[in-house]
Structures are given as C-alpha cells and as structure tokens.
Chains A and B, each alone.
Chain A
C-alpha cells in the first residue's frame, strides 16, 4: 500500500488513477469541441440562409 500523500510519489496504482483522469479529460473536452464545431456550423448555415431571405432574420 502506498503511504506517501503526494500524487507524484504514486507508483503502485498510477496505471489506474492517471488513465481515469485522462479518459475523463478526453471525453469531456472532446464533447465540448464537437458541440462547439456543430454550433458554429449551424450558426453559419442559418446566417447564410437569413441573408438570402431578407426580413426573416428577426423572427423567433
């Protein structure tokens, strides 16, 4: 059992702890990136369409 309190001294369980944080970061950041990319794409598409149809942009 590891007795030291500091994460840097972790040896025995490093192979379980670091992948947990790594996968969490990958999944959460990945979802943000995908969502932002989809958001920008949809926004550009809507703006292009509204520019083609003047007078419709202020409708909900």
Chain B
C-alpha cells in the first residue's frame, strides 16, 4: 500500500483530496483548544496562570520529537529503498520540526523564568532539546550545501539517522539525570498525573499541532515534487 501511494501523481491526487479535511480539523481543534486553554481551564494552585504555557509548550515538544522521528523514518526509507517521495517527505518535514523545537525552547524559557527563577539551565533535558534544534538546522544546511541534490539528500539523511540517538536521550533525560525539568506527567505507565480539566486543552492543542503538521507537510511535499519536476523539465529542455 505504501508503494501504491508513493507514486508522485497518485500521491498528489490523494493529497489534494485530504488537505481541506486536515485544514478543517486543524482549525476546529485550534478553536476549541485555545478556548479551553485560555478561558475554560482552571489555574494551577501553585503555578497560577503560567500553567497555560503548558498548552503550547508540551504539544510543541511532542511535535519536535514526532517530526524528527518522521524525518528519520523517511531518511531510512529513502536511503535503503531509494524512495524519492520519502526523501522529499524528510525535506518537507525539517522546517516544521525546527519551528516546533524553537517554540518548545522559547515557551519553556518563558515558563521557566517565573517558575524556576531562570530563563535557562544547561541541564540534560534543555541541552538535548537545543541539540535537536541544531540537528534540524544542520540537516537543512547540509542538504543545500551540495550542487548535486542527490549527494545532499544522502549526506543529510545519514546526519538525521546518526542524530536520532538524541531522541531517546531527550525522552529519558529527566529520569537519567538530575534536572530542574519535571518528569513525564502525561505519557506514563501509571497514567497521567494532570487533572482532566487541564488534559482537555492539552490534548486539543496537541491534536491541532498534529493536524497542522500533516496539512503543511502535504503542501510542502507537493511543492517539492513540483520543484523536482521543474528541474527535470529544464534539464530535458537544455539537453534537447
């Protein structure tokens, strides 16, 4: 089935059909999520209103890891099976993942100052997320550093796969090392430790970010396919 949809023409047709639904789902989730996050959810008895930063910070951090994992899978498929669409998917994902990582870092800092008394500490969680941000930037820079696009795609795919070691480090950093950052409070074996009134906006915003990613990545993949086709036509035009 994966092979069936990997055909660029078939993919474009399917993508054009799915995109409006993703856009609608994204807008509904953002609308409901922002309402609950800003107006309907309670303040935290210790953190006050700063708990509302969680509804941006946590989904952004989840998406930072999700996008990198998606990039690593795409890079592996592109390297092993030479799938052109997988390579394009990795390229299209990188700026979105970098944006989510940037948001996780900035909102974390804005949350850290009033709660921890500092904008930044060089502990394992924060530093490993900063490394993730540099991995995204490094991928984008390396990809465009070669005259021959195939070589750039191969080199950057290897970088993504090597950098994937950072993903479990980020996830388990709060368990392995002493840190100011709190341990997992949603994705736990014994269930979430957050009140349901706060889980509702958190999950709605997480869904909104997911739909945002899928809508935008499909659009960006379609754009990359057009760029590739333009390059091929120019090449044919020049050699005719």
Contacts and interface: CB of A to CB of B under 8 A. Distances in A.
B234 A49 contact: yes
Provide the main secondary structure of the chain B interface: helix
A7 B49 contact: yes
Interface in B50-86: 50, 52-53, 56-57, 60
A2 B49 contact: yes
Given A6-B39, A28-B212, A60-B7, A49 B53 contact: no
Contacts of A39: 219-220, 222-223, 226
Interface stretch (B110-118, B125-133, B162-170, B176-184): B110-118
A36 B111 contact: no
A39 B5 CA distance: 21
Given A3-B43, A16-B114, A28 B49 contact: no
Given A12-B49, A17-B53, A43 B226 contact: yes
9 closest A-B pairs (Cβ-Cβ)?
A: A60-B9, A2-B48, A39-B223, A10-B49, A42-B226, A20-B107, A20-B53, A16-B110, A13-B50
